[in-house]
């Protein structure tokens, strides 16, 4: 499987003015690029997995990581 340069995919997350697109729009554009590019040989499931991995690494929307959420659950007192 040949993958596109991650920086090419990252650029799909920004609009013409340089503003960040919504996560859904960014994710869809990246997946479409991967599955429609003739240079890549990737199915939709693999494309989704690769895109989700990149989006987690980049954290463009400053979302908490799974580790952060689990850590918060450990410090939250039980509710009666």
78 pLDDT tier (thresholds 50, 70, 90): low
d(CA 46, CA 59): 20
Quick: pLDDT tens for 39-64. 888 999 999 999 999 999 999 999 88
Any domain includes 16: yes
Domain count, the chain: 1
- Alpha carbon distance 76, 5 (integer Å): 41
Answer yes or no: is 62 within a domain: yes
Give the 3-state secondary structure of residue 7.
helix
**What domain range includes position 15?**
6-75
* Confidence grade of residue 68 (pLDDT, cut at 50, 70, 90): confident
Residue 80 in domain: no
Instruction: With respect to residue 26, please indicate whether it lies within any of the assigned structural domains.
Output: yes
Q: 66 lies in a domain?
A: yes
């Amino acid at each position: 499987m040949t993958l596109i340069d991650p920086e090419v995919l990252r650029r799909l997350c920004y609009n013409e003015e340089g503003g960040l697109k919504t996560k859904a729009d960014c994710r869809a554009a990246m997946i479409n690029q991967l599955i429609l590019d003739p240079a890549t040989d990737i199915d939709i499931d693999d494309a989704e997995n690769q895109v989700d991995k990149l989006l987690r690494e980049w954290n463009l929307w400053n979302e908490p990581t799974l580790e952060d959420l689990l850590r918060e659950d450990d410090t939250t007192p039980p509710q009666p």
